[in-house]
Structure 1
Amino acid sequence: MQIALNARILQAPRTGIGHYLAELISALAHDPDLELSLFHGWGWSSSLPKATMPGYSRLTPLLRQIPGSYQARRWLEQRRFDRGRSATIDLYHEPSLWPLAFKGPTIMTLHDLTHLHYPSTQPAARLREIERRLSQGVQQARLILTDSQFVAQEAQHYFGLGPERFVVAPLGAAARFHPRSNASLQQVLQPYGVKPQGYFLCVGTQEPRKNLSLALRAHTELPETLRQRFPLLVIGMAGWERRQFSDELNNALAAGHVRLLGYLPDEHVAQWVAGARALIFPSVYEGFGLPVLEAMASGTPVILTRRSAMPEVAGAAGNYIESDDLHGLCAAMSHLVEDEAHWQTCREAGLQQAKLFSWERCAAITAHAYRQALGG
């Protein structure tokens, strides 16, 4: 089977969907029946591009202000997608929100419905384009892959589709996420003056949906001695609406108890995750919650909200809070610091839970969906 995959998102710094696509492509490459053609926005390739680091562009904010910029970019992408594509492509897989036009069988991956539940988390121009294009894409796709049963069920209800149109393909944790010895972490941690299991960690793009402000406020409420011993470190890009929690962030930074590490290379992220006392993930909505799985696979306990798809990922291994429960988050953080037996129990439970997920399994389910869409 020749499969066309829209891999344009891999040209940008990789966050959730980018990591999903990169790992999926690598795992699908082991299937001898599949031949992958990757569309990278300007043309076609058979090789996975290297991850890029973020860089500020003065042009991007200006383009967002131009009426019709999303539509113009879409038109250009469609032309490039059609140009140079092999005539023997059997199926097109769109791994993000809306497929490009393709006359043959199409599969799409619907990671979440964030735009529906939390429209304020999207820039206005992008939200309008999602609302215009997504319904068309859903109708175009023969099958719709989702990362979780939660997203499959809410999409069935929202679009009025039957369950036979959906295939749940849970994500996996990359091989770089595994338990590490304290000695192996020193090179990355020591320049920041922290020790293994000596800090709390948040991972994710800094945007309102991730609810970082709750983590900042909860950390501020901890006793002074705990804040000094266990600073809060934040990994991720600034996002599009950082000003929504700038007061909390600036105050915490000024106090020296919170540190922004920014966007880091993948291997460094894995080391920081493995070295944390706990991952704090207070997101209000996730279609899966990949950092939760990656932390558990690394032997790091997780504090998270009992919202959306996240209980499917963490199972009984999670330390659950409500998304607005400041005191509950403070208590969960203190418990993981002060009770070593509890910390160890959470660590072992997370390692066992993480074994239920893998990119090999995700790829196998995806390949089966390809064959199903083609009538095999």
Structure 2
Amino acid sequence: MRIALNARILQAPRTGIGHYVAELVGALAREPDVELSLFHGWGWSSALPKAAMPGYSRLTPLLRQIPGAYQARRWLEQKRFDKGHTQPIDLYHEPSLWPLSFDGPTVITLHDLTHLHYPETQPAARLREIERRLADGVQRAKLILVDSQFIADEAQLHFGLPAERFVVAPLGVASRFHPRAPESIDTVLKAHGVDAGEYFLCVGTLEPRKNLTLALRAHARLPHAIRQRYPLLIVGMAGWQREQFSEELHQALASGHVCLLGYLPDEHVAQLLAGARALIFPSLYEGFGLPVLEAMACGTPVVLARRSAMPEVAGAAGNYIEPDDPDGLRDAMRRLIDDQAHWQACSDAGLQQARMFSWERCAQVTARAYRQAMGG
């Protein structure tokens, strides 16, 4: 099968969907009947880009201010998509929101419906494009891949489509996420002023949907001595409308017990996850929640809200809290400090839960969806 896969998102610094594309492409390469051609927005390649496009983070905010920029870029991409590939394509896979036009069978991946629940997390121009194109793309797709059963159920209801149009392909965990001895991660941890097992970690784009204010409030309610010994580190890029909670964040940063690390290399994130006392993930809405799986694969306990798809990922290994209860989160954090037996049980349960997920399995389900969409 000759598959065209839109990999344009890899021009940007990699967050959830970017990691999905990169890992899926690598795993699909081991499927014997799958031959991938990757479209990068301006051309075609058989290889993944090694890094984000230079200047991407500075270019994107400028595009938001130019009227019609999204439509113009879309028009150019469609032209290059139509003319750039050198061999016939059997199927087109769009892994991120709305697909380009294609005469043959199309498969799309619908990761979530964030734009419906939290439209404020999208720039206005981009939100209009999503609303204009996504419904049409979903209707045109032969099959719709989703990361979780939660999203399958939600999308069936919203778009009015039968269950057989959806294929649940749970995400996997990259090999860099595994338990590590403290001495093997000491250099990275020391660069951020922490020791193994003596900090809490949040991973995610800084935007209101991630509910990071709950983590800030809960951490601030710990005794001063504990906050000093167990700081809260936040890893992630600034998101759309970060200013909605910037005052509280600035106050937390000024305390000296919260550190905003920004966007870090993948290997550094993996090492920080492996060394954390726990991952704090109070997000209000996720189509999957990849950092939860990655933390568990490192043997790191996870504290998370029992919302959306996250219970499918964490299962019985999760320490669940209410997303509006800072005292409950504080108590969960305190127990993971004080009760070593509980910490160890959570670590062991997370490792066992993480073994249920792999990119190989995700690729196998995806390849079967390709065959089904092509009538096989």
- Seen in structure 2, the aligned counterparts of structure 1 residues 268 and 110 have a Cα distance that, compared at 3 Å, is same
**1:160 aligns to what?**
160
**2:307 aligns to what?**
307
Structure 2: segments with no counterpart, 5+ residues: none
Asked if structure 2 preserves the Cα contact closer than 8 Å seen for 1:204 and 1:236, the reply is yes
SS at match of 1:345: helix
Residue 109 of structure 1: CA displacement? 0.1
**1:253 aligns to what?**
253
SS at match of 1:83: helix
Deviations 1:84-106 (A, max 9, x none): 22342100000010000000000
**2:237 aligns to what?**
237
- Seen in structure 2, the aligned counterparts of structure 1 residues 59 and 269 have a Cα distance that, compared at 3 Å, is closer
Deviations 1:301-345 (A, max 9, x none): 000000000000000000001111111111110010111110000
Asked if structure 2 preserves the Cα contact closer than 8 Å seen for 1:4 and 1:91, the reply is yes
Asked if structure 1 preserves the Cα contact closer than 8 Å seen for 2:12 and 2:56, the reply is no
Deviations 1:190-211 (A, max 9, x none): 1322110110000011111111
Asked if structure 1 preserves the Cα contact closer than 8 Å seen for 2:11 and 2:53, the reply is no
**1:344 aligns to what?**
344
- Whether 2:81 is the aligned partner of 1:81: answer yes
**2:200 aligns to what?**
200
Taking only the aligned residue pairs, the percentage that are identical comes to 76
SS at match of 2:185: helix
Residue 119 of structure 1: CA displacement? 1.2
**Partner AA of 1:175 in structure 2:** S
User: 1:43 & 1:56 partners in 2: Cα distance?
Assistant: 17
**1:13 aligns to what?**
13
**1:362 aligns to what?**
362
Asked if structure 2 preserves the Cα contact closer than 8 Å seen for 1:111 and 1:147, the reply is yes
Where do 1:264-279 residues align within 5 Å? 264-279=264-279
Residue 124 of structure 1: CA displacement? 1.2
**Partner AA of 1:63 in structure 2:** L
Deviations 1:155-203 (A, max 9, x none): 0000000001000000011000000001101111113221101100000
User: 1:165 & 1:103 partners in 2: Cα distance?
Assistant: 19
User: 1:373 & 1:8 partners in 2: Cα distance?
Assistant: 23
- Seen in structure 2, the aligned counterparts of structure 1 residues 288 and 361 have a Cα distance that, compared at 3 Å, is same
Deviations 1:332-372 (A, max 9, x none): 10010111110000000000000000000000000000001
Where do 1:221-236 residues align within 5 Å? 221-236=221-236
User: 2:57 & 2:157 partners in 1: Cα distance?
Assistant: 39
**1:105 aligns to what?**
105
User: 1:53 & 1:324 partners in 2: Cα distance?
Assistant: 38
User: 2:192 & 2:355 partners in 1: Cα distance?
Assistant: 31
User: 1:335 & 1:258 partners in 2: Cα distance?
Assistant: 20
Deviations 1:46-78 (A, max 9, x none): 011113388575543332122211111111110
SS at match of 2:144: strand
- Seen in structure 2, the aligned counterparts of structure 1 residues 290 and 75 have a Cα distance that, compared at 3 Å, is same
**1:326 aligns to what?**
326
Asked if structure 2 preserves the Cα contact closer than 8 Å seen for 1:53 and 1:265, the reply is no
Asked if structure 2 preserves the Cα contact closer than 8 Å seen for 1:53 and 1:263, the reply is no
User: 2:360 & 2:57 partners in 1: Cα distance?
Assistant: 36
Asked if structure 2 preserves the Cα contact closer than 8 Å seen for 1:288 and 1:313, the reply is yes
Deviations 1:2-34 (A, max 9, x none): 000000001110000000000000000011211
User: 1:23 & 1:147 partners in 2: Cα distance?
Assistant: 14
Structure 1: segments with no counterpart, 5+ residues: none
Deviations 1:114-165 (A, max 9, x none): 0111111111111111000001100110000000000000000000000010
After TM superposition, the runs of 4+ consecutive aligned structure 1 residues lying more than 6 A away are none
**Partner AA of 2:104 in structure 1:** G
**Partner AA of 2:234 in structure 1:** V
User: 1:230 & 1:192 partners in 2: Cα distance?
Assistant: 13
TM-score, normalised with respect to structure 1: 0.98
User: 1:178 & 1:61 partners in 2: Cα distance?
Assistant: 35
Asked if structure 2 preserves the Cα contact closer than 8 Å seen for 1:6 and 1:39, the reply is yes
Bigger drift between 179-188 and 82-91 goes to: 82-91
User: 2:322 & 2:286 partners in 1: Cα distance?
Assistant: 14
Asked if structure 1 preserves the Cα contact closer than 8 Å seen for 2:38 and 2:44, the reply is yes
SS at match of 2:84: coil
Asked if structure 2 preserves the Cα contact closer than 8 Å seen for 1:314 and 1:353, the reply is yes
Asked if structure 1 preserves the Cα contact closer than 8 Å seen for 2:24 and 2:359, the reply is yes
